[in-house]
Structures are given as C-alpha cells and as structure tokens.
Amino acid sequence: MLRPGMLCPLLTPAWLLTAGLLCAGVWAARVNKHKPWVETTYHGIVTENDNTVLLDPPLIALDKDAPLRFAGEICGFKIHGQNVPFDAVVVDKSTGEGIIRSKEKLDCELQKDYTFTIQAYDCGKGPDGANAKKSHKATVHIQVNDVNEYAPVFKEKSYKATVIEGKRYDNILKVEAVDADCSPQFSQICTYEIITPDVPFAIDKDGYIKNTEKLNYGKEHQYKLTVTAYDCGKKRAAEDVLVKISIKPTCKPGWQGWSKRIEYEPGTGSLALFPNIHLETCDEPITSVQATVELETNHIGKGCDRDTYSEKSLHRLCGVSSGTAELLPPPSSTANWTVGLPTDNGHDSDQVFEFNGTQAVKIPDGIVTVDLKEPFMISVWMRHGPGTKEKETILCNSDKTDMNRHHYSLYVHNCRLVFLFRQDPSEGKTYKPAEFHWKLNQVCDKEWHHYVLNVEFPTVTLYVDGVSYDPFPVTEDYPLHPSKIETQLVVGACWQGGELHMAQFFRGNLAGLMIRSGKLENKKVIDCLYTCKEGLDLQIADGIGKGMKINVNPSQSTLTLEGDDIDRFDKAMQHISYLNSRQFPTPGIRRLKITSNVKCFNEEACIAIPFVDGYIMVLQPEEPKISLSGINHFARSASEFESPEGVSLFPELRIISTITREVEPEGDGDEDPTVQESLVSEEIMHNLDTCEVTVLGEELNQEQESLEVDMTQLQQKGIEMSSSNLGTIITGVDTMASYEEVLHLIRYRNWHTVSLFDRKFKLVCSELNGRYVSNEFKVEVNVIHTANPVEHANHIAMQPQFVHPVHHTFVDLSGHNLANPHPFSVVPSTATVVIVVCVSFLVFMIILGVFRIRAAHQRTMRDQDTGKENEMDWDDSALTITVNPMETYEDQHSSEEEEEEEESEDGEEEDDITSAESESSEEEEGEQEEDQQNVNRQQQLEWDDSTLSY
C-alpha cells in the first residue's frame, strides 16, 4: 500500500500539485469516518422557577474523528418530539458538552415530567457542515421539580358533629385539607392544629378530632373549634376552618317534649295534653310500641268529677221515672235521719257518708213504699276495702221486735256482694232462691263503684259500673213463717229485733242509696248514672290512626294505644286531650301517668321506657253569685189570706246569677303601671236544684195556715215539694226560669186571721247540692183587718191601701185595689208607724221654716208646700189613722169612725189646706176625744205637734 509520505515526494512539481490535490481528497474522505456518540438514556431535573435542566449523566457527545477539526467536533443536538418545551445547546464543540434548557416557564402542576429523544451531530467535512454525521437517538426523561407556591385549603367551609355526653371518642370527626402543589413534599398535609385554647379536644396528623375528657352537657352544650393545617413545606392554610361539636345528653329512651303541670281552665272544652311529645328510642330497631295513659281521679268525689246533684235528681235527669225512695239523702228538715252520720263532702258538696263499723241509721216508716212482690231496683255508690271475715251489711230489712229474721238485705262478705231475699209466707213451703252471690274484685279494691241491682224474682241481675253480672252461686231457702211483726229498715247494719240491737256493721263509704219500683235495664240510663263528666279523649285526623289499636275504658280514665309506626304513634299521642264537661268542675289536681312497652326485632322488650308522671291542674271556676230579688214587704186584706187561692208570697221574684271576671286593660300594661285590671260582672245561666222557703218566727200551725202550690204544674216540670211546720223544700234540677215560675205559684193561706197581723218568710235557693247558695230573700206580709165593709162606702175610691217596701226598692201596687176595702185600715207594722211619723215630722219642719222666712207670702208658699207634699207621695187628705193592733176592734170602732168623718169633712170644705193646718185640726180633734181614748192614745198613729211653735 502506498503511503502518502512515500509516494508524493517522488513526483515532480507538476505532478506534485496534481498529486497533492489527489491526496487531499482521499484524506478528507477518510477524516469524517465516525458518528458522534451519546448515552442512550438521560434523566434530568428542572425546577419550576428555573430553566436549566440538570441531567444525569451530563449531556456530552463523543466523536472518534477527534481531534480533527470539523469531523471530530460536535456542532449541535437535535430534540425530537411534539411540543417539547426544551432545547439543547452545545457548550463546547471540541468536547461535545451540551446542556438542555426550557424554552418557557414550566408548571409542575400542569405537567410533572417530560420524555423526548435527542441526537448529536458533528460539524461534517468543513465549515459548511457538509456530510455531517448524526448519533443515535437517546431518550431524555426530565422531571419538573415543585416549588411550594400553594397553601393548604380545607375541603369544607365548616364541620359539624354531635356527641353524647359521658363518652370518650377515638374519632369524633375528620377534617381534611388539600394542597395544589404537585410534589409530595408540598402537596401533602403533614400537620393539623387546633388553634382554640383550653378545649377538651385533640387532632392528629390525619385530621381526626377526639375528646380528651368526658363531656358534660350541663357544662357546655356546644364547642366551637378553630382548626388549621400545614403542608410538609410548613406552609399554613390560607384560611382556618370552624368545627362545631354539639353535646347531646346521654340518650335515655323515653317520652320527651311534655310538661309536668298542665293547667285546665273550666269552660274551655277539650285541652291537648301532649302537643309536643315524642318518643326517643336511641336508634334502637323498634317494631312495636304500646302506651297507656291513665287519668287518676279517685280523690275527686265518687271516683271522678260528676254532677253533685242529689242521687234522686240524677236519676230524674238520666230518665228514671219517679217513685224513687232516697235512703241516704242530705240532712234537711224533712229528711233528718242522716244528721248523725260522718260525711266526706268530696271537695264539691257531693254527699258521701262514712261508716266506720259502729254507725247505722234507721229509715223512718213510710219512706220505702216499694211492693217487693213486684220488680224493684236497688242502686248505690260504694267504696269498700278488704274487710274482716264478718258480714258487713249495706241495707237490711228485718223484724222490729221478737225475732231476728232478715226479710231482705244487701251485704258484703269475703269480697262477695250478697243479696238476701226471703219470700213471703204466702208463697208456700217450697224452696225458693234466697241468696244471690257475686264474687267481685270491685267490692274490695277501695275504689268507688256504682251498683245497680235489678230484682225480678226469681231473676236478680247486678250491674257494676254499667257491666252486668249474673249471680253465682244462688242458694235456696224456705219462705219466712207467717207473723204480724213489723219490720225495720236499716242502712249500715242490721237490726236484731229479738235482741234489740244492731249487728253486722258496715265499714266503708256509701252514697246515693236508692230503692224504686220497677227494673232499670236501659243501658243508656245506667251509663248516665255513673259516667264521669271528665275524662280522656282522642280525636285522630285522617290517616294518623291507620294501623293503630286504640282502646278506652268506659269511664274514660284509661286510654291505650298500640302501633308500629313511631311517627304516627307520636302524632296520635299529641292528639290525646282532657275534657271536663261540667259548667263548674271540681278544682284541683288530676294526676297523669304514661306507661310504655317497646319491642324490637327479637320480639322482646329491648329498651325500657320510663313512665311519665304529671298532673292536670283544674283551675277554680268563676263562682256564680245567685241573687234573689223582688217585693219583700207588702200588705193584703184578711179576706185574701182566707180565700182558697191564698196570697202569693213571691209574685215578682227574679232569680239571676252572675260571675265576676277580670278584664285586662287595652294596650301594654307594663308601660303604664297605674293601669289596673277591671272587674266585669256577667250574667250567666245555669240550673238550680233546691229552693227552701222557711217560716221566720213561730212554726206553721197546720190547723189554720199552710204553704200551698199547684202540684199539677210541679209534676209537669218534674219538680218535687216537701212541706213541714218549718216551711217548704222544692227539689229537682231545672233552670232558673222554671224555678221562678214554681216560686210564683207558692201561696200562703190562713183561714183564721183574726189574731194574725204579719208573717215573715225566708227563701234560699242553691245549685249543685248546696255548692252555690243564693242570698237570703226575706218577705214580710201584713194582714189588713177591715171594719164593717158596708159603712162609709162613699169613701172607698179616695182611700187607697197603704203598701210600703222595707228597703224602698219595690212597690207593690197590685195589692191596692182590694175587693172590699174599708177607708179606716189598720197596718199594725211597727216599722210602718215609725216611718209615717218620721215623714210627717219632716214635712212639718219644712213648712215651718218656709213660714218663718217668707211670712209675707204665706198664701203662695202654702200652694208650693202642697206641691212638695204631692212630690213626696204623701197625701195628707187621704191619711188613714191606724190603730195599734194590740187594741181590740170593739173598743175603738166608734171613736175611729168619728175621727175619720171629721177629717173627711175638713178635706171637702178646704181643698187647699196646708199640711200644718191639717195637723192642727187633727190635734184639736184628738184633744176633744182624749177622755174617751186615754188608754189607747199612746199607740195610735197621729202627729203630736202641740209642743211645737210656729
């Protein structure tokens, strides 16, 4: 092989030039023989805020043609890829060193890394880069390093949680913040912190909050915490977050949202008892709920609030026909055999009698007129507890003397109610049913119960609180032996006629013991007799009671609900109400109790619901004021008293009832403390059940006087009347208007009025068995005795009868026109005499003063005085001189006629005579007759002005 150094020097110069060119071309072709070389893979890092990429390994291209110029030099790097924000720059051509840098600002949050290929190329054959060779493609991975430019941000604006007091929680709630930085270092939250000081809570690095101590609802209902977050670059959150942690009382299953005290205002109708109640089940899986609401009214009256009319009146109100004998009536003048019995008025004038095992009452003969051969009925209210093993007799009819035979009796023995009924001897000597037994829990439960016994021999049926019971067992016995011994009816024991003492005493309370002819089988009537006027009520709207069982006992004191839907159950409970239909209910406490039973999926009681204990406070009703008014003093002629019609005692009687209410002032009373509440009287309507007319003074003499009334009209109204020497008692529940009509019918008759000059009576009415009593209305009637009705007939028209009301309130003009009046009438009332004298003296003093002041005008003043005299309703010209009623009519008759004739003549002769002149003329006439009437003069009605000077 020819080497250039050996061949070329042998050539000549010409050939030398040609050879030189030839050798140079061959050499050039042989210089750029190799491709540049680079690494196959590069890894680079660039920071967001920088453009230089740090590569590993460094970017260096090698060329084996080095150190030849151009061929051994690296002229550049070429990047392959789309949208690559980088370029490569040669730093040193000879060494092949280069760098990669970003062409624009990088954002790690948009793209964290880039991958592309790169090639290096040499300078080729010469400066123009011809025949440049490229290296293989190397892969470049560049990662964009993050800058902590973003702060943590919480995912929620605020956080809420509820915890139960008394528990320690490992995790109450979790707060979470995020960071927009791309790197784990700056995008991760490394720390959470509670900024609020002195709170019993802590938070961990993951954002979980827990309590550091047991929380107490009584101490704090809710905690408010401020929480912040830090990323791993220790950058704090831009905004802190608020965390609210509510403390819930320890979940106790039970009824919530009810009031212990519930006030009931009388007359307001139905009152919802639990409008906001709901059942807290503490998230237990409930399948069914049962609740029983009980209204306890045992301490009110006979077990609850009922009308406290007499039992006889209640029977009539409930539709029971008349003919009922009341064996335990309230003590009165006509029924006094219960006076000695201890009573428990039941807080509302409800007549309840107590028997302690030593008391009993004998019923007077004639009270019970029931024919025992016909069907009859016994009814009674009874409260009886567990007693002794001895018989305790409620009612017993036995021999009055000689023997101890019991004809019929009702008694208690070992919690059994037993009715003994022995047949009459006329029934024959065959066995007959005699004792009827009922084993009842009600007999010994210390509660009030209503018993109705229907006897239609041989069948006897018992109703207890409206529920019928058949007797078992029934024992038989022979009829009684014939005898003529009278019987004695006793309540509270049994009379032993052979030993003449009481036995088998009753221990308990009785009320309303009645016997009447005929059975009482009408269920409505029986229910009416015992049904309470107060109780629980449930009015359910459509859809609420769907799928629920509702049960109410007959007395409406117990209400039971059962259902499986908690929401519907709560709404049904919210509709339970209390109702008292009495116009004047008994005030006081009625206790309420709710007992509940809850079942879960396992069909067992999973949670225990505590009972609810509250009470209804029935407020005091506005008490009515019953007022009796009318004419309380009048006179009638003796002939009217002696007539068959008699004299009406209460012709214009008015009965009204009012209540006083407080009316709040208009506007805001707090602004003006001087504004006070005003009292307003309002008239109301209600019933009356008793009116009693009592004689004041001597008792009625049945041989010559009586109080009478049209019994037909009384019976039409269903009102009864009983009379005695002390007066008359009208009983029966009816309106005030009906009682007015009945009292207008009461007339007083006296068929021997010679020695009678006045009679006084007192009227008192009451409602609800004496709970509300009227005022005492007193009436005084005077008897006008007349002389010979034939003489002096020409003076009848000008001599009116004198009628004067005691209190100047009512004037009775109806009694002025008597059938046969006499001009010389006698009104013997002391009050009347005194009033006449006082009025006459007053008129005289007025006239005397006028005479002294205006003596010059005496005649004119006399006319004026006459006018004044007429204004005062005193007609001296028609004055009647009365005689003391203690004087005999025979001693005064002649002198009285002479005095009146002279008086009448004076009035006819001088029409304009003055009062003073009239008095003087009367005085002169009286002096002329002084010798004849010296004994009687002190008690005559006359004007003695002889000691006065004009």
**Does the pLDDT value for residue 578 go beyond 60?**
yes
Looking at residues 554-565, what average pLDDT do you find? Answer: 89
pLDDT category, 533, cuts 50, 70, 90? confident
Looking at residues 286-300, what average pLDDT do you find? Answer: 88
**Does the pLDDT value for residue 809 go beyond 50?**
no
pLDDT category, 166, cuts 50, 70, 90? confident
Model pLDDT for residues 421-448, shown as the tens digit of each residue: 987 776 667 778 889 999 999 999 988 8
Which range scores top for mean pLDDT: 306-320, 334-348, 382-396, 795-809? 382-396
CA gap 138, 62 in Å, rounded: 13
Long-range contacts formed by 417-423: CB under 8 A, 24+ apart: 417/443, 417/451, 417/462, 419/453, 419/455, 419/460, 419/462, 419/471, 421/372, 421/455, 421/457, 421/460, 422/477, 422/479, 422/480, 423/457, 423/479, 423/480
Looking at residues 602-613, what average pLDDT do you find? Answer: 80
Q: Name every residue whose Cβ is closer than 8 Å to that of residue 227 and which is 6 or more positions away in sequence.
A: 154, 159, 175, 192, 193, 194, 195, 203, 209, 240, 241, 242, 243
Residue 831: per-residue pLDDT = 58
CA gap 801, 808 in Å, rounded: 17
Instruction: Determine phi and psi for 262, rounding to 5 degrees.
Output: -125, 120
- Residue 918 CA: distances (Å) to CA of 45, 112, 856, 910, 941: 149, 142, 21, 10, 15
Packed helices 915-928 and 830-853: angle between N→C axes, nearest 10 degrees: 120
**Does the pLDDT value for residue 7 go beyond 70?**
no
Residue 667: per-residue pLDDT = 53
Question: Going by DSSP bridges, is the β-strand pair 138-145/41-47 parallel, antiparallel, or unpaired?
Answer: parallel
Least confident of 353-357, 521-525, 875-879: 875-879
Residue 619: per-residue pLDDT = 92
Model pLDDT for residues 170-183, shown as the tens digit of each residue: 999 999 999 988 88
Least confident of 359-368, 579-588, 898-907: 898-907
CA gap 232, 191 in Å, rounded: 8
CB distance 494 to 409 below 8 Å: yes
Residue 290: per-residue pLDDT = 92
**Does the pLDDT value for residue 521 go beyond 80?**
no
Residue 892: per-residue pLDDT = 41
Model pLDDT for residues 306-360, shown as the tens digit of each residue: 777 777 778 777 877 667 888 988 887 778 888 888 876 544 556 789 999 999 9
Residue 792: per-residue pLDDT = 37
Name the percent of the chain lying above pLDDT 90: 32
| CB-count exposure of residue 286 (10 Å: 0-12, 13-18, 19+) | buried
On average, the pLDDT of the chain sits at 78
**Does the pLDDT value for residue 668 go beyond 90?**
no
pLDDT category, 187, cuts 50, 70, 90? confident
Least confident of 382-386, 802-806, 895-899: 802-806
Looking at residues 251-257, what average pLDDT do you find? Answer: 88
Residue 344: per-residue pLDDT = 65
| Residue count (the chain) | 950
CB distance 236 to 152 below 8 Å: yes
**Does the pLDDT value for residue 874 go beyond 80?**
no
Model pLDDT for residues 404-427, shown as the tens digit of each residue: 889 899 999 988 999 999 877 766
Beta bridge partners of 139: 41, 117
Residue 11: per-residue pLDDT = 42
- Helix/strand/coil for 344: coil
Specify the amino acid at residue 268.
T
Which range scores top for mean pLDDT: 97-111, 512-526, 631-645? 631-645
Closest CA to 175 of 214, 210, 200: 210
Could you tell me the pTM of the whole model?
0.57
Name the percent of the chain lying above pLDDT 70: 77
Model pLDDT for residues 579-589, shown as the tens digit of each residue: 999 888 889 99
Model pLDDT for residues 700-712, shown as the tens digit of each residue: 988 899 999 988 8
Least confident of 704-708, 752-756, 936-940: 936-940
**Does the pLDDT value for residue 901 go beyond 50?**
no
Helices (H), 181-287: 184-187
CA gap 19, 4 in Å, rounded: 9
Least confident of 352-361, 512-521, 750-759, 788-797: 788-797
CA gap 610, 595 in Å, rounded: 7
Cβ neighbours, 10 Å, residue 352:
21
- Residue 224 CA: distances (Å) to CA of 159, 171, 199, 205: 10, 17, 9, 20
- Helix/strand/coil for 139: strand
Which of the two residues, 186 and 781, has the higher pLDDT score? 781
Specify the amino acid at residue 391.
K
Q: Name every residue whose Cβ is closer than 8 Å to that of residue 487 and which is 6 or more positions away in sequence.
A: 397, 398, 399, 400, 407
**Does the pLDDT value for residue 69 go beyond 90?**
no
CB distance 561 to 569 below 8 Å: yes
**Does the pLDDT value for residue 507 go beyond 90?**
yes
Specify the amino acid at residue 537.
D
**Does the pLDDT value for residue 830 go beyond 90?**
no
Residue 292: per-residue pLDDT = 95
**Does the pLDDT value for residue 135 go beyond 70?**
yes
Residue 494: per-residue pLDDT = 95
Cβ neighbours, 10 Å, residue 596:
22
- Helix/strand/coil for 610: coil
Residue 883: per-residue pLDDT = 44
Residue 829: per-residue pLDDT = 52
Q: Name every residue whose Cβ is closer than 8 Å to that of residue 245 and which is 6 or more positions away in sequence.
A: 160, 161, 162, 163, 172, 173, 201, 209, 222, 223, 225
CA gap 708, 646 in Å, rounded: 8
**Does the pLDDT value for residue 293 go beyond 90?**
yes
CB distance 438 to 421 below 8 Å: no
Closest CA to 532 of 557, 513, 495: 557
Residue 171: per-residue pLDDT = 92
**Does the pLDDT value for residue 812 go beyond 80?**
no
